[in-house]
Amino acid sequence: MAGLRRAEAAATAAQAGRPRPERPRLAHAASHRALVAAARALHDRGFNPRRAGNASLRAGRGFLITPTGMDYDAMGPADIVAMSLDGTARGRRAPSSEWRFHADILRARPEFGAVLHAHPPHATALACLGKPIPAFHYMVAAAGGADIRCAPYATFGSRALSRNALKALADRRACLLANHGMIACGADLDDALGLAEEVEALARQYLLALAAGRPRLLPAREMAKVLRLFEDYGARR
């Protein structure tokens, strides 16, 4: 009896010294759910047929990422994989085969809280032509510069693909991946999802314009002006 009371007292003392466990667990579950919702949103927009594409969200010193080889309908918060930025995974599933560029982007670009990778039809069509999206429309500046670059092809999941993507993302928040798809990054998942939609819309408009003729490009000084206006607008939001 005394032993039991001592054990109870020790447990209470240990609990008192620790943060309440419910709160972090709830916060954790919310970020898992948000990641599943973002992955499904990409799928629902037709950006990720079947099991293509993946999404990550910064969490503490590491990040959360969608699992590999799972249908979006079947994916739940418990299937999300926690990873450190050096690539150690924790979870009942294996991480997306593209975890490397998610980790490398989140490590190199502290301003990003979320990274989305998708194979939307129009952005992917341009990527298969190896074409960047030039300043044919002022909204190209939404990705952070006067164009949206296309990273050279490398095998999915490889270090080379990650290197190429990081280079194409220099001073940008989105890029195309040759013969593959696109990456969109943001401060959070909503931000990244909005940009992914914008890049796909621009890719569609650019392809339509190319089909009808030769699009007229905006001069560099006009794009610089739009970029400044976007920065002011972002700061006032």
Give the count of residues interacting with Zn ion (CB under 5 A).
Answer: 1
For Zn ion, which is the closer residue by CB, 67 or 181?
181
Dihedral angle sign, alpha carbons of residues 14, 17, 22, 25: negative
The site string for Zn ion over 175-214 (x = CB under 5 A, - otherwise) reads ------x---------------------------------
Q: Which two tokens stand for residue 37?
A: 């919702």
| CA dist 13 → 6, 17, 19, 20 (Å) | 10, 6, 12, 13
Q: How far is the CB of 6 from Zn ion (least distance, A)?
A: 57
Among this protein's residues, is 111 annotated catalytic?
Answer: no
Residues 6+ positions from 75 with CB-CB distance below 8 Å: 36, 39, 40, 66, 67
Q: Please identify, using beta-carbon distances, which residue of 57 and 123 lies nearer to Zn ion.
A: 123
Tell me which of 8, 22, 98, 231 is the catalytic residue.
98
Query: Which residue's C-beta sits nearest to Zn ion?
Result: 181
Q: Which is nearer to Zn ion, 62 or 181 (CB)?
A: 181
Residues contacting residue 226 through CB under 8 Å, at least 6 positions apart = 138, 141, 218
Shortest separation between residue 208's beta carbon and Zn ion, angstroms:
24
Cα–Cα distance measured from residue 187 to residue 115, given in angstroms and rounded to the nearest whole number: 9
Closest CA to 189 of 24, 46, 49, 57: 57
Question: Least distance in Å: CB of 117 to Zn ion?
Answer: 6
Provide, rounded to whole angstroms, the least separation between the CB of residue 53 and Zn ion: 6
Looking at the DSSP bridge assignments, the partners of residue 124 are none
Q: Which stretch binds Zn ion (CB under 5 A): 1-9, 102-110, 123-131, 174-182?
A: 174-182
- Complex with Zn ion: residue 31 or 96, whichever CB lies closer: 96
Beta bridge partners of 185: 115
Q: Find the binding residues for Zn ion in span 57-96 (CB under 5 A).
A: none
Closest to Zn ion by CB, 106 vs 161, is: 161
Burial of 158 (0-12, 13-18, 19+ CB in 10 A): middle
Interface with Zn ion by CB under 5 A: which residues?
A: 181
Catalytic residues: 98
